[in-house]
Amino acid sequence: MTLLAQISDLHLDGGERAARRATRVMDYLRALPREVDALLVTGDIADHGAEGEYEEATRILKAPFPVLTCPGNHDARPAYRKALLGTAPEPGPINQAHHIGGTAVLMCDSTIPGRDEGRLDAETLAWIETTLTELPQDAPALLAFHQPPVRMHHPLPDSCMLEETGPLADLLQAHPEVVAVLTGHAHTAAGSTFAGRPLIVGPAVTWTLRMPWEGDAPADREQPPGLAFHVLDDDRRLTTHYRVVI
């Protein structure tokens, strides 16, 4: 089996609160008696896309296990590349494929610079297609990106979700090896389906979305930071366990 952890939406801003919450979840993960095979961080790592915020992220996310990241709408590609990945500060989509215990984990860039809604652009869709096609036969794959491709039933995330989802649905139909789609952005631990696959939304580290039936103000800053554990077993079934870290 493969054991993955997922955190999302750290919104590191140089302030004490965001750093403390992110450090708390990382301390929890680093202290586990069985180390995770990898940690996925599904975007909104920085709050303003500043280089200093990514330098802070680099320090906080340091771990003995692989840490896989993708950007969110609060991230900025050039600063993300320079300070988090140590590569040239180019503006194109940041797509990275990782191989964790026989599972391909595709960390995809669904951001549109300057906008909150997301889209998998032609370059990213082509990269996903090529990467999946080149995998060994029967190798399972996970797709991770920031904006969920389905409604969350809250006006805030539903105003800036993933758009133009048809090509992604077509791609999934052609690639049964994709076991699940993992996202962040909605600041709520949620499960749904997309194109017949599980769609798992990781909780946020910074604040939790208050649903319309829970009250009016969308940001519940009192809830503790959350994380998800994803277990992928040998028959390709993904099971997710959610945790909060007090």
CB closer to Fe ion, 77 vs 185: 185
In angstroms, the CA 118 to CA 75 distance is 12
Q: How far is the CB of 120 from Fe ion (least distance, A)?
A: 15
Give CA–CA dist 128/134, Å, rounded: 10
Measured at the alpha carbon of residue 184, what is the angle toward residues 129 and 177, in degrees to the nearest 5? 30
State the Cα–Cα distance between residues 3 and 202, nearest whole angstrom.
15
Residue 158 CB, shortest distance to Fe ion, in Å, is 13
> Based on CB atoms, which residue is closest to Fe ion, 39 or 186?
186
Closest approach, Cβ 100 to Fe ion, in A, equals 24
Q: Does residue 119 touch Fe ion according to CB under 5 A? A: no
Question: Closer CB to Fe ion, residue 102 or residue 155?
Answer: 155
Candidates 123-131, 170-178, 179-187, 238-246: pick the segment binding Fe ion (CB under 5 A).
179-187
- Residue from 37, 44, 75, 177 touching Fe ion (CB under 5 A): that is 44
Sign of CA dihedral 100, 82, 43, 93: negative
Nearer to Fe ion, 9 or 37 (CB): 9
Residue 40 bridge partners (DSSP): 6, 68
Among residue numbers 51 through 80, which ones bind Fe ion (CB under 5 A)? 72-73
Which residues, in sequence order, are CB contacts of 167 under 8 Å at separation 6+? 120, 125
CB of 140 to Fe ion, least distance (A): 27
Which one, 95 or 208, has the nearer CB to Fe ion?
208
For Fe ion, give the closer residue by CB, 35 or 163.
163
Cα–Cα distance for residue pair 132/128, rounded to 1 Å: 6
- 144, containing H or E segment: strand 141-144
Helix or strand or coil: residue 112? coil
Instruction: Please report how close the Cβ of residue 111 comes to Fe ion at its closest, in angstroms.
Output: 9
Cβ proximity to Fe ion: between 2 and 188 the closer is: 188
Q: Check residue 109 for interaction with Fe ion (CB under 5 A).
A: no
Q: Using an 8 Å Cβ cutoff, are 93 and 70 in contact? A: no
Q: Note whether 37 binds Fe ion by CB under 5 A.
A: no
Alpha helical stretches, state H, 16-89: 16-30, 51-60, 77-79
Total residues in contact with Fe ion, by rule CB under 5 A? 5
Does 47 sit near Fe ion (CB under 5 A)? Answer: no
C-alpha dist (Å) from residue 42 to 174, 182, 215, 217: 24, 8, 26, 24
Q: Contact residues for Fe ion (CB under 5 A)?
A: 9, 44, 72-73, 185
